[in-house]
Amino acid sequence: MASSSRNTTTTTSNSITNTRTTIKKAEEIFKNNWRKAEEIFKEDRDALTAKLNSNGDSALHIAMDKAENIQFVENLLKEITPESLPEMVNNKRVNPLHRAAKIDNTMVAKMLAKKNPDLLFILDVTSLPIHKAIINSHKTTFLYLLDACKQYIEISQKDGYHSPFEGVHGARLLTNAIDSGFLDVSHELITEYPHMARTKSKDTFPLTSIGKKWDLYYSGTRYNFYQRLVYSYLPREENCLHDKSMIQDIENQETCSTNPKNTKSRFYSVIMRIYVKMWKAAILRVPHIKHLLEEKAKHNEALVVLKRICQEVCTITTESEICKQYCDAMKFAVNNDTPEVIEEIIKSFPYAIWTKIDGYSLIQVAIRNRSEKVYNFLLCHLSYDKYAHQQRRDKDDNNLLHLAAKLAPVHKLNLVSGAALQMQRELQWFEEVGNFVKPKYKDQKTKKEETPIMVFREEHKELRKEGEEWMKKTADSYTIVAALIITIVFAAEITVPGGNDGDTGKAIYEIKLSFVVFAVSDAISLFASTTSLLLFLSILTTRYREEDFLYKLPTRLILGLGMLFLSVTSMMVAFSATLYLMFGQEKAWLMIPIATLTCLPIASFVTLQLPLLVGVISSTYGQGIFVTQSDRRMKKS
């Protein structure tokens, strides 16, 4: 018993000593002190490959974590034999090349791959080093590892080694490249290894990966009017998957445009040259235009990769397998409102238009999810199938109008600011779908004996209350402002600047131009503010029915804000005219500071309130989110 106790004590003592020694070794490596570390390694050669911390990291794992340790790592590698590198794994089976790829240490990755190329094809648990680089979006390291894997690909044939270009690992490489946004690399991989595009990676297909990346498509971005205008005029890059820069590509466009074989006339050639020169200058000097061009190139690249994947999927002979490939991609595309994906898939697989997503057709999902771009696309391309889609009903006997009557998902509602405008958007959807379906469907009942309008009122009860509260608070604030302006301009009108002539009662300055400006602008301000006040009062006293949010209430808000802006502007002009009348008759230079100061409140009002006014006008009387019937006919033709 005593002997056993002594043995236990000795073992514990040795364990503590070993732990302290290990910590000391790790500390020297962290300090980047090669001389002391070298002494340790000379005394104990096993320390070169030993696990030095609780994670099981070796000296090499620890040293490469610091960018300044490159020389230290190089010295370590000189001491370590190539054969021992594959065995230097931590508790998670991560070898040094896995770590270098994960932390984007390209220099160390190069040294390791040259020391022992076998590291390129060894898994930790599920990943190769090249996967670690692409998952973490380390493009420089990834591109090096990609070239290295191609160079040493024969090694992957060894037992226990894995090729990054075959099977699940190849499909994963492609999906990771797409997920990281490396579209040029994705296209290169599909071109060299076409089978990747149709191979499943764990639980996803490459088509699903490119389909769910909404930010790679034009429809997935939200540009303002100016950005959309510039974007539409930017040169379209026909071959955007290349190694040259954007500017070089535009120079190539210039060369092509001046080629007599590609132009109809010399005049056309000159125009094209000017056009390309103009955009090249803009790209060089205007950062946001350069950014838009890069965005446009990215969108075009995504479409090229999407098309290329669809082409490879088409080579599959089994229809059920093809359906598995595109079903999830269609689901993501409808939910993300990216019709480009839907269009390309339907072009490649025409029967995909009948795809069911969780038991719902594409148009049903588009309506439920409020995906207006996909909805517009489907309506433009349904043609003779339109009537079949109109009759669609779900398991609860909800027709399309019932689905439009349900409350939109929260993330879709939040795309519009203000509960009143959200209610307006919901009414626009209900009205649009009501125009699409046959009149008899407007009175159809569900299993719960509910008509579409009954569903709409029930689902939007809370939103209507929030919209009413938002409208009343907004109108109440503007009512106070309008009342103050009325008080100010009315008082200014009855107390004439400069006073009246005692004999005639006429204004002393009535013949002055500045007095006329004062009188007219003050009157305009009074009339406009009074009109604005009445409009806001009408908003406060309205009945707030659901249909009022579509046109009635927004129109009153637009007119009220417009009149209020006019009254503020006119009031400031009247005030400026009064100042000039009283003090600036002999001092014309006073006009400069007066005009400058007059612009301040007007500019403040415009900056703070114009976005709301523009938003309400756009949502009420703008182009709208739905394509008109005439536009649909044009797109079909």
Average pLDDT over residues 338-365: 92
In sign, the C-alpha dihedral spanning 433, 437, 441, 447 is negative
> What is the rounded CA–CA span in Å between residue 159 and residue 149?
17
Q: Identify any residues that bridge with 204 across adjacent strands, giving them in sequence order.
A: 201
pLDDT tens figures, 42-84:
777 787 888 888 888 888 888 887 766 788 888 888 889 999 9
pLDDT for the residue 12? 36
**pLDDT-based confidence at residue 169 (cuts at 50, 70, 90):** very high
287 φ, ψ (degrees, to nearest 5): -60, -40
Single out the residue of 464, 407, 463 nearest to residue 430, CA to CA. 407
pLDDT of 577: 81
Residue 175: predicted pLDDT: 96
Q: How far is Cα 505 from Cα 521, in angstroms, rounded to an integer?
A: 22
Q: Which domains does the chain have, with CATH numbers?
A: 19-164 (1.25.40.20), 181-315 (no CATH), 474-621 (1.20.140)
**Rounded alpha-carbon distances, angstroms, from residue 372 to 336, 367, 391, 398, 408:** 10, 8, 20, 20, 12
- Per DSSP, the residues of 285-330 read H-HHHHHHHHHHHHHHHHHHHHHHHHHHHTT---HHHHHHHHHHHH
Which ranges constitute the DSSP H helices of 495-590?
A: 513-541, 552-583
Question: The pTM is what?
Answer: 0.81
Residue 173 or residue 49, greater confidence? 173
Confidence category of residue 580, pLDDT binned at 50, 70, 90: confident
- CA 48, 49, 51, 57 dihedral sign is positive
Q: What's the pLDDT band for 453 if we cut at 50, 70, 90?
A: very high
Closest CA to 565 of 525, 521, 600, 538: 525
DSSP reduced 3-state for 360? strand
With CA atoms as reference, report the closest residue to 485 among 526, 531, 535. Answer: 526
The pLDDT of 122-138, averaged and rounded, is 95
Q: How far apart are CA 250 and CA 239, in angstroms?
A: 11
pLDDT for 510 equals 63
pLDDT band for position 464 (cuts 50, 70, 90): very high
Written as six digits, the tokens of 84 are 């021992």
pLDDT tens sequence across 230-257: 888 887 654 444 444 444 444 444 444 4
> What's the token pair of residue 398?
């909800």
Give the pLDDT confidence of 394-414 residue by residue, as tens digits.
888 999 999 999 999 999 999
Confidence at residue 208, expressed as pLDDT on a 0 to 100 scale: 95
Instruction: Report how far Cα 272 is from the mean position of its chain's Cα atoms.
Output: 33
**Radius of gyration from C-alpha coordinates of the chain:** 36
Residue 591 to residue 576: CA distance in whole angstroms? 8
Distance CA 9, CA 151 (A): 55
Size (the chain), residues: 637
Using pLDDT thresholds of 50, 70 and 90, give the confidence band for residue 457: very high
- pLDDT for res 15: 37
Cα separations in angstroms, 542 against 472, 474, 552, 615: 10, 14, 10, 22
* Integer Cα distance of 110 and 97 in angstroms: 9
CA distance 600 to 318: 69
| Helices 372-381/362-369 angle, 10° precision | 150
pLDDT at residue number 284: 65
Q: Which residues pair with 201 in a beta bridge?
A: 204
pLDDT digits (tens, 9 = 90+) for 514-558: 778 888 999 999 999 999 999 999 999 999 999 999 999 999 999
> Of all residues in the chain, what percent carry a pLDDT higher than 90?
52
Question: What is the three-class DSSP state of 356?
Answer: coil
How far the first Cα of the chain sits from its last, in Å, is 97
Nearest to 568 by CA among 614, 521, 611, 615: 521
- Count of alpha carbons within 13 angstroms of residue 491, beta-carbon side: 7
What CA–CA distance (Å, rounded) separates 535 from 538?
5
The burial class, CB within 10 Å (0-12 / 13-18 / 19+), for 261 is exposed
Query: Checking phi first, is residue 411 left (phi over 0); if not, alpha (psi -120 to 50) or beta?
Result: alpha
- Among 23-37, 170-184, 446-460, 614-628, the least confident range: 23-37
3-state secondary structure 495-519: CCCCCECCCCCCECCCCCHHHHHHH
- 162, containing H or E segment: none
Q: How much is the pLDDT for 496? A: 67
Q: Are 528 and 569 within 8 A, CB to CB?
A: no
Q: Is the pLDDT of residue 507 over 80?
A: no
Least confident piece of the model among 148-162, 178-192, 281-295, 581-595: 581-595
Instruction: With a cut of 70, say whether residue 497 has pLDDT above it.
Output: no
- pLDDT, the chain, mean: 83
How far apart are the C-alpha atoms of 50 and 54, rounded to whole Å? 12
Q: Is the pLDDT of residue 14 over 90?
A: no
Cα 162 to chain centroid distance, Å, stands at: 36
Q: Using pLDDT thresholds of 50, 70 and 90, give the confidence band for residue 278.
A: confident
Mean local confidence (pLDDT), 184-199: 95
Q: How many CB atoms lie within 10 A of CB 239?
A: 9
* Predicted local confidence at residue 323, as pLDDT: 93
Structure tokens at 101: 């790829």
Nearest in space to 570 (alpha carbons), one of 608, 536, 538, 532: 532
| pLDDT recorded at residue 263 | 47
